[in-house]
């Protein structure tokens, strides 16, 4: 994003994003700009979008650019949205998110981030004076829903006249003759008369792009108007014979053809470069794409001569700029072709030449892309390539390195959080490659592996499971069980099993996988470390916290202190947060807060505050804070995280559901029971849809609701729900599990509240014995069970046993948590303790 220089005392927009450089040769259009400004600003209550429409080359984009620059002082926010590819419109809108205090586009599903942007613009929070420009929006039905409504302003440029039935439209016609003459006199200072300018404008039909091409050619070559008009007459006749499509103004094609012919005679290498640029998208092309290709690609390059000659390449780009065939943006180091010029260039080529130039673009894109799509430092470069993927038809290329590039782009989108676009591209590539090469081709199976990971990250667990299971069987058959891609998918399949609630099966799967990876790669290879990290999750889910912590410490130490090739910030943060989580589940709350704070700060620094893994870390930090007794801090973090996850993923996504439980638990501990109950009543309906009817996480959500029902006075409903949840836990995990025993503690409290003291005591005694065996005598959950049992023993008349247990329990409580901890205060005051459930990341 660039910031325009202030002129006079007019205030500058606080947000100025992606607006192209001002055209220093912009001429005329005063009446049009005044009419547009008056029409736009007359809408005082709600935005009425305005569309600038007209045929190609008439200058719609330049009018919109001039409007943005000229009236920028009237806005707090001005944002430019390239609108020729529907998938990238949302990405551009999502780029506004951090400027509005919303989640950033590279850390979420783009769809939900862009929806949040549109909502913020509609509400005018934090800016009500905004201007959005959708450039080259030729399909009203595709983008109308993405045009914000509010008190700001929207400009649309389009060649499609169907906008007339959707928004207020302003026609952009060719220059008036006076404007044409004025433009040419500015473009050709001191070299032409009004009479010559009038003749030239007449022949070029006053079309701005054609006038720009003609003026640039004459400036560059010193050609006289008379000579140019003679060439134009002959060229026009040739073009008429060629039967150019009606979409292309004849004056434009004639002017362009003359410029191209003159350029070819002076610097033919520049023409080759220009033709190559015709197969990129119409958005800015990074200047550094045009670098010498690596040896494995150079032999296929049609441009290898010019790409290998830095001086010649620079000269060609400058000459193309002087001929007005490309637009050079020196500040952002990009070049750009008008889409009409691109279309004309492509049309004049034979089909073989088109294929060669298209492949040249594939080579350039692949060479420009970084080799580590998981690295956030590489993401801006990948982002600069996205708008060129579809126009270049990358999916059609069978070259192995180009397909590897396509896979890397998909991986970049997935790891950076743009899951929706990742899924679209992955499906497009998989469909095309499967059509070309069949189900059993390696590239098809690899892309399916990435598609499965994207589906999983989107929360579509059943779809991911089916796809991955089928693909894994095919890989094992066709590639072999020890192939790197087979092993990579096998590691993902463990997460599929966890998402289905098959924790024991996932453990066995990952244990075998670790042996296989250690044998294949050694104990410290990045692939082996990833298996160890996943295996730690299995142990954690089965409440073997000691083994989970051992694996996490080993993995984190290797990722953080002795990084191996291919490691990423994501790996570091996942292990770091996992370590904080297992410390908390082991009862070491203060240590979990310390480690969690460090992990969260790392996530913010390396991935951004709104990256999906930073948000997971924030959620775990909130839980640790709550367990440690820092309830206000925990609530602030939980609320902030849930609101962002809701905007990012929607209410049904597993991460949002976990955020809802985290927030509800924090609200309950701060006596905001009504708000917490609303959250849980909603979540309990959504959990079975996300995980199925028998997943342990579903029962955990039910258990939380039961706890809150009892706290708010509906003990009978709480008892019924806790009994059902405990039956579910027992069936899925057995009674000797952390989740089951937590539910048993709460069920005993339900029974005690209903005055079934004997049943509460019996359940409390059996639960305490199991807790001591599983977690140890000093674990806070064990101490909570013991503290509650003290109350039930007293009510049952067993005072001596109660006194002895109280003395031992409270002494341990004070030593473990401190006298000021809320649980210790509650326990020593003779009140019951409750424990809730927070689903860990799978």
Contact 382, 370 (CB under 8 A): yes
Comparing 415-424, 496-505, 632-641, the range with the smallest average pLDDT is 415-424
- Please identify, among 171, 195, 222, the residue that sits at the C-terminal boundary of a domain: 171
Give the N- to C-terminal CA distance of the chain in Å, as an integer. Answer: 37
Query: Is position 773 within any domain?
Result: yes
Distance, CA of 154 to CA of 163 (rounded, Å)? 13
- Please identify, among 227, 248, 266, the residue that sits at the C-terminal boundary of a domain: 266
Identify the band that residue 417 occupies on the pLDDT scale cut at 50, 70 and 90. Answer: confident
Mean pLDDT of the chain: 89
Query: Is position 300 within any domain?
Result: no
pTM: predicted TM-score of the whole model, two decimal places? 0.79
| 557-586 mean pLDDT | 87
2 secondary structure, DSSP code: -
Query: Is position 53 within any domain?
Result: yes
Distance, CA of 657 to CA of 842 (rounded, Å)? 13
668 and 733 together in one domain: no
- The pLDDT of residue 464: 94
Distance, CA of 722 to CA of 717 (rounded, Å)? 9
608 and 684 together in one domain: yes
- Count of structural domains, the chain: 5
- Spatial CB neighbours of 756, under 8 Å, sequence gap ≥ 6: none
- Nearest CA-CA partner of 375 in 606, 615, 609: 606
Query: Is position 310 within any domain?
Result: no
Edge-first strand listing for the sheet containing 77-82? 15-17, 77-82, 130-135, 153-158, 50-53, 168-171
Query: Is position 769 within any domain?
Result: yes
Pairing of strands 77-82, 130-135: parallel
Pick the residue with more confidence: 815 or 105?
A: 815
Pick the residue with more confidence: 35 or 510?
A: 510
Residue 108 predicted with pLDDT over 60: no
Residue 535 predicted with pLDDT over 90: yes
Distance of CA 614 to the CA centre of its chain: 13
- For 262, other C-beta atoms within 10 Å of its C-beta total 18
Q: Show the domain range for 437.
A: 371-500
Distance, CA of 596 to CA of 604 (rounded, Å)? 12
674 and 788 together in one domain: no
583 and 685 together in one domain: yes
Residue 8 predicted with pLDDT over 50: no
Distance, CA of 708 to CA of 723 (rounded, Å)? 15
Please report, for the domain that includes residue 45, its CATH number.
3.40.50.300
Pick the residue with more confidence: 212 or 760?
A: 760
24 and 125 together in one domain: yes
377 secondary structure, DSSP code: G
Residue pLDDT, tens place only, 282-324: 889 999 999 989 888 888 899 999 998 999 999 999 988 888 7
DSSP result, 489-540: HHHHHHHHHHHTT-HHHHHHHHHHHHHHHHHHH-TTSHHHHHHHHHHHHHHH
How is residue 648 written in tokens? 């990012």
Comparing 91-95, 630-634, 779-783, the range with the smallest average pLDDT is 91-95
- Please identify, among 500, 529, 555, the residue that sits at the C-terminal boundary of a domain: 500
| 145-172 mean pLDDT | 83
57 and 150 together in one domain: yes
- For 393, other C-beta atoms within 10 Å of its C-beta total 15
- Spatial CB neighbours of 89, under 8 Å, sequence gap ≥ 6: 81, 82, 83, 114, 134, 143, 146
**Distances in whole angstroms, Cα of residue 552 to Cα of each of 190, 421, 532, 565, 582:** 75, 32, 8, 19, 9
Contact 644, 103 (CB under 8 A): yes
Residue indicated by tokens 């950033």: 104
Please report, for the domain that includes residue 811, its CATH number.
1.25.40.10
Distance, CA of 82 to CA of 386 (rounded, Å)? 12
HSE-CB at 74 with a 13 A cutoff on CA atoms is 14
- For 206, other C-beta atoms within 10 Å of its C-beta total 22
Distance, CA of 736 to CA of 771 (rounded, Å)? 8
Distance, CA of 264 to CA of 345 (rounded, Å)? 13
Query: Is position 7 within any domain?
Result: no
155 and 227 together in one domain: no
Residue 465 predicted with pLDDT over 50: yes
State the sign of the Cα–Cα–Cα–Cα dihedral 500, 503, 505, 506.
positive
Long-range contacts of 671-674, Cβ-Cβ distance < 8 Å, separation of 24 or more: 673/708, 673/711, 673/712, 674/712
Residue 249 predicted with pLDDT over 80: no
CA dihedral 478, 483, 486, 488 (to 10 degrees): -160
Q: Torsion-angle region of residue 797: left (phi > 0), alpha (psi -120 to 50) or beta?
A: left
Distance, CA of 211 to CA of 201 (rounded, Å)? 7
Residue pLDDT, tens place only, 317-340: 998 888 878 888 888 899 988 877
Distance, CA of 578 to CA of 535 (rounded, Å)? 11
- Phi–psi pair at 132, nearest 5 degrees: -115, 135
- The pLDDT of residue 105: 37
672 and 704 together in one domain: no
Query: Is position 321 within any domain?
Result: no
Q: In what helix (H) or strand (E) does residue 341 lie, and over which residues does it extend?
A: helix 339-347
Query: Is position 316 within any domain?
Result: no
436 and 453 together in one domain: yes
- Phi–psi pair at 629, nearest 5 degrees: 100, 5
Residue 681 predicted with pLDDT over 70: yes
Distance, CA of 10 to CA of 13 (rounded, Å)? 10
296 secondary structure, DSSP code: H
Distance, CA of 696 to CA of 498 (rounded, Å)? 10
CA dihedral 487, 488, 494, 495 (to 10 degrees): 180
Residue 389 predicted with pLDDT over 90: yes
191 three-state secondary structure: coil
79 three-state secondary structure: strand
Comparing 128-137, 437-446, 502-511, the range with the smallest average pLDDT is 128-137
Exposure string for 33-66, b = 16+ CB within 10 A, e = fewer: beebeeebeebeeebebbbbbbbbbbbbbbbbbb
pLDDT > 90: what percent of the chain? Answer: 60
* Paired strand residues for 329: 334
State the sign of the Cα–Cα–Cα–Cα dihedral 391, 397, 401, 406.
positive
Residue pLDDT, tens place only, 700-711: 999 999 999 999
Residue 1 predicted with pLDDT over 50: no
| C-alpha gyration radius of the chain | 33
Identify the band that residue 259 occupies on the pLDDT scale cut at 50, 70 and 90. Answer: confident
Residue 565 predicted with pLDDT over 80: no
- Phi–psi pair at 156, nearest 5 degrees: -125, 135
Residue 575 predicted with pLDDT over 90: yes
731 and 677 together in one domain: no
Q: In what helix (H) or strand (E) does residue 53 lie, and over which residues does it extend?
A: strand 50-53
Distance, CA of 318 to CA of 269 (rounded, Å)? 12
248 secondary structure, DSSP code: S
167 and 21 together in one domain: yes
Residue 350 predicted with pLDDT over 80: yes
Pick the residue with more confidence: 163 or 507?
A: 507
704 and 667 together in one domain: no
Distance, CA of 369 to CA of 412 (rounded, Å)? 10
């Amino acid at each position: 994003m660039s910031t325009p220089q202030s002129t006079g005392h007019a205030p500058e927009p606080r947000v100025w994003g992606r607006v192209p450089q001002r055209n220093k040769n912009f001429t005329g259009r005063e009446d049009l700009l005044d009419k547009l400004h008056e029409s736009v600003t007359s809408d005082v209550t709600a935005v009425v979008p305005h569309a600038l429409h007209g045929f190609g080359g008439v200058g719609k984009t330049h009018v919109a650019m001039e409007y943005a620059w000229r009236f920028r002082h009237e806005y707090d926010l001005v944002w430019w949205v390239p609108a020729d590819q529907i998938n990238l419109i949302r990405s551009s809108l999502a780029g506004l998110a951090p400027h509005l205090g919303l989640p950033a586009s590279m850390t979420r599903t783009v769809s939900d981030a862009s929806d949040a942007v549109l909502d913020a613009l509609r509400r005018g929070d934090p800016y009500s004076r905004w201007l959005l420009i959708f450039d080259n929006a030729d399909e009203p039905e595709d983008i109308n829903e993405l045009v914000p409504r509010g008190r700001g302003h929207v400009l649309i440029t389009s060649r499609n006249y169907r906008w007339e039935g959707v928004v207020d439209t302003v026609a952009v016609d060719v220059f008036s003759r006076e404007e044409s003459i004025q433009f040419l006199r500015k473009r050709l200072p001191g070299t032409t008369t009004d009479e010559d300018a009038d003749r030239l404008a007449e022949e070029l039909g006053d079309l701005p792009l054609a006038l720009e091409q003609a003026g640039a050619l004459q400036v560059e070559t010193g050609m006289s108007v008379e000579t140019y008009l003679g060439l134009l007459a002959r060229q026009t006749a040739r073009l008429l014979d060629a039967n150019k499509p009606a979409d292309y103004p004849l004056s434009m094609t004639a002017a362009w053809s003359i410029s191209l012919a003159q350029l070819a005679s002076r610097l033919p290498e520049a023409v080759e470069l220009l033709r190559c640029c015709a197969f990129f998208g119409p958005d800015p092309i990074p200047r550094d794409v045009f670098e010498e290709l690596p040896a494995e690609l150079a032999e296929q390059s049609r441009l290898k001569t010019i790409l290998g000659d830095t001086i010649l390449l620079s000269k060609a780009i400058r000459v193309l700029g002087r001929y007005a065939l490309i637009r050079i943006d020196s500040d952002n180091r990009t070049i750009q072709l008008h889409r009409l010029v691109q279309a004309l260039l492509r049309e004049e080529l034979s089909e073989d030449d088109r294929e060669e130039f298209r492949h040249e673009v594939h080579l350039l894109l692949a060479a420009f892309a970084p080799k580590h799509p998981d690295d956030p430092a590489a993401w801006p470069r990948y982002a600069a390539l996205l708008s060129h993927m579809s126009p270049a038809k990358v999916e059609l290329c069978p070259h192995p390195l180009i397909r590897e590039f396509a896979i890397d782009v998909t991986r970049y989108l997935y790891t950076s959080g743009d899951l929706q676009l990742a899924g679209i591209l992955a499906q497009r590539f998989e469909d095309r490659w499967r059509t070309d090469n069949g189900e059993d081709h390696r590239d098809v199976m690899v892309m399916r592996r990435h598609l499965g990971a994207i589906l999983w990250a989107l929360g579509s667990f059943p779809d991911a499971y089916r796809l991955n299971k089928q693909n894994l069987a095919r890989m094992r058959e066709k590639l072999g069980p020890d192939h790197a891609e087979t092993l990579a998918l096998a590691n993902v399949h463990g997460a599929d099993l966890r998402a289905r609630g098959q924790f024991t099966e996932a453990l066995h799967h990952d244990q075998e996988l670790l042996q296989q990876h250690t044998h294949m790669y050694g104990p410290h290879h990045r692939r082996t470390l990833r298996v160890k990290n996943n295996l730690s999750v299995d142990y954690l889910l089965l409440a073997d916290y000691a083994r989970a912590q051992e694996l996490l410490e080993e993995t984190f130490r290797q990722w953080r202190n002795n990084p191996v090739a291919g490691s990423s910030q994501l790996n570091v943060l996942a292990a770091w947060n996992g370590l904080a989580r297992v410390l908390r589940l082991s009862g070491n709350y203060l240590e979990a807060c310390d480690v969690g704070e460090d992990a969260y700060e790392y996530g913010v620094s390396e991935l951004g505050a709104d990256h999906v893994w930073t948000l997971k870390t924030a959620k775990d930090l909130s839980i640790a804070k709550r367990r440690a007794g820092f309830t206000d801090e925990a609530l602030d973090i939980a609320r902030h995280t849930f609101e962002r996850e809701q905007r990012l993923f929607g209410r049904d996504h597993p991460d949002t559901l976990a955020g809802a439980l985290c927030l509800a638990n924090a609200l309950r501990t701060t006596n905001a029971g009504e708000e917490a109950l609303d959250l849980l009543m909603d979540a309990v309906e959504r959990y079975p849809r996300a995980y199925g009817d028998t997943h342990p996480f579903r029962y955990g959500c039910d258990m939380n609701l039961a706890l809150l029902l009892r706290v708010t006075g509906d003990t009978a409903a709480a008892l019924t729900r806790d009994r059902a949840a405990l039956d579910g836990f027992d069936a899925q995990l057995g009674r000797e599990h952390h989740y089951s025993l937590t539910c048993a503690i709460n069920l005993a409290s339900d029974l005690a509240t209903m005055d079934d003291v004997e049943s509460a005591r019996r359940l409390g005694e059996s639960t305490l014995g199991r807790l001591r065996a599983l977690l140890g005598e000093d674990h806070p959950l064990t101490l909570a069970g013991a503290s509650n049992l003290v109350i039930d023993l007293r009510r049952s008349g067993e005072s001596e046993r109660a006194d002895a247990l109280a003395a031992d329990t409270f002494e341990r409580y004070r030593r473990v948590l401190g006298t000021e901890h809320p649980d210790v205060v509650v326990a020593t005051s003779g009140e019951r303790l409750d424990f809730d459930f927070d689903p860990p990341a799978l």
